[in-house]
């Protein structure tokens, strides 16, 4: 999925300056961003004061939207570099096309994982015809320096492992949780899991104290470590936890995101992750000139133009806007 914000500005993320080395309960409020003709997303990362959680660098939550009489998701071809995109649905379908020739419909609880590496472009749209409701999350994972120029590739996994407890099913989307490992390729110590809770359930989820964590609420009413987390909000939890208390006040869906703190500083702009302003500017130029990122075949519409870079160069270390 693209960042369609036409006022995008470069920002410095990563490094340990923002990492909280102890358990905390920091509730993040989303920013609402339009996505295409009929979809609005709630952007949780990057957020004011909280730029990353482990290698997770971008989190959008959307829906549930009634798109029975709407086009649904319509994201034209756009570029990515230096990251992985993770598509995760609770309702609906998303048709993925990319410049490698991939054509795949991603359905609820299936992993659509695209590794951009050095360069890729793709589009995402609701199929025709499509289901009435669309509800999901789109996430990006920053690639570490040693892997950020890998050959681009797309993976689709329908059979994902799960960790279970009374009233809880935790499907492992990426990385590892309590000994269960996702088949999706990960390039840093990381975890992403879909947590389905039955109303009235109280349980504790085992965690890695070296990871930092956050929980995104997808649906229902639940408390995370005693904090009510409503759909479309995210609770940052810091590091140093060995378990996480969960309590469901109704049937609820959550996403657990975590990983080792990402030590490298990165520069994010639009749909690119690089290491310098110059690298970002070159990527933008390459996209505008039609080189490097390839071409998406079969999408009915024009590709997405890149927003203008601000005239003021990226400022000093750790300063973000």
| Predicted local confidence at residue 311, as pLDDT | 79
**pLDDT tens, 103-140?**
999 999 999 999 999 999 999 999 999 999 999 999 99
Cα–Cα distance, 59 to 227 (Å, whole number)? 20
Q: What percent of the chain has pLDDT over 90?
A: 84
Question: In three state form, how does the secondary structure of the chain look?
Answer: CCCCCCCCCCEEEECCCCCCCCEEEEEECCEEEEECCCEEEEEEECECCECCECCEEEEEEEEEEECCCCCCCEEEEEEEECEEEEEEEEECCEEEEECCCCEEEECCCCEEEEECCCCEEEEEECCCCCCCEEEEEEEEEECCHHHCCCCCEEEEECCCCEEEECCEEEEEEEEEECCEECCCCCCCCEEEEEEEECCCCEEEEECCCCCEEEEEEEECCEEECCEEECCCCEEEEECCCCEEEEEECCCEEEEEEEECCCCCEEEEECCEEECCHHHHHHHHHHHHHCCCCCCCCCCCCCCCCCCCCCCCCCCCCCCCC
| Predicted local confidence at residue 310, as pLDDT | 86
Q: How confident is the model at residue 317 (pLDDT cuts 50, 70, 90)?
A: very low
Residue 102 pLDDT > 70, yes or no? yes
| Predicted local confidence at residue 48, as pLDDT | 80
| Predicted local confidence at residue 19, as pLDDT | 81
pTM: predicted TM-score of the whole model, two decimal places: 0.92
| Predicted local confidence at residue 49, as pLDDT | 78
Average pLDDT over residues 288-307: 95
| Predicted local confidence at residue 16, as pLDDT | 63
Cα–Cα distance, 23 to 110 (Å, whole number)? 31
Average pLDDT over residues 38-59: 90
**Geometric angle at alpha carbon 249, from 223 and 160, rounded to 5°:** 75
| Predicted local confidence at residue 20, as pLDDT | 82
Contact 184, 161 (CB under 8 A): no
Contact 181, 175 (CB under 8 A): yes
Contact 320, 12 (CB under 8 A): yes
**pLDDT tens, 174-229?**
999 999 999 999 999 999 999 999 999 999 999 999 999 999 999 999 999 999 99
């Amino acid at each position: 999925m693209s960042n369609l914000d036409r006022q995008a500005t470069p920002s410095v993320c990563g490094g340990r300056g923002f990492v909280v080395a102890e358990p905390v309960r920091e509730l993040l409020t989303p920013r609402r961003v339009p996505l295409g003709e009929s979809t609005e997303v709630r952007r949780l990362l990057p957020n004011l004061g909280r730029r990353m959680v482990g290698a997770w660098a971008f989190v959008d939550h959307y829906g549930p939207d009634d798109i029975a009489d709407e086009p649904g998701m319509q994201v034209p071809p756009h570029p990515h570099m230096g990251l992985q995109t993770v598509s995760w649905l609770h309702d609906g379908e998303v048709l993925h096309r990319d410049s490698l020739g991939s054509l795949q419909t991603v359905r609820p609880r299936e992993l659509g994982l695209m590794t951009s590496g050095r360069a890729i472009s793709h589009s995402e749209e609701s199929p025709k015809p499509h289901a009435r409701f669309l509800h999901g999350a789109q996430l990006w994972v920053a690639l570490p320096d040693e892997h950020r120029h890998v050959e681009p590739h797309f993976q689709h996994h329908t059979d994902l492992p799960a960790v279970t407890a009374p009233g809880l099913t935790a499907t492992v989307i990426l990385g590892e949780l309590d000994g269960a490992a996702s088949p999706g390729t990960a390039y840093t110590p990381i975890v992403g899991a879909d947590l389905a809770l039955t109303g009235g359930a109280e349980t504790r989820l085992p965690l890695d104290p070296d990871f930092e964590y956050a929980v995104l609420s997808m649906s229902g009413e639940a408390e995370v470590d005693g904090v009510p987390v409503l759909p479309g909000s995210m609770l940052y939890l810091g590091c140093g936890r060995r378990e996480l208390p969960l309590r469901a006040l109704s049937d609820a869906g959550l996403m657990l995101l975590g990983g080792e703190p990402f030590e490298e500083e990165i520069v994010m702009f639009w749909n690119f992750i690089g290491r310098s302003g110059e690298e970002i500017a070159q990527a933008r130029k390459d996209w505008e000139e039609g080189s490097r990122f390839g071409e998406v075949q079969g999408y009915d519409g024009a590709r997405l133009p890149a927003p203008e870079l601000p005239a003021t160069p990226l400022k000093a270390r750790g300063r973000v806007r």
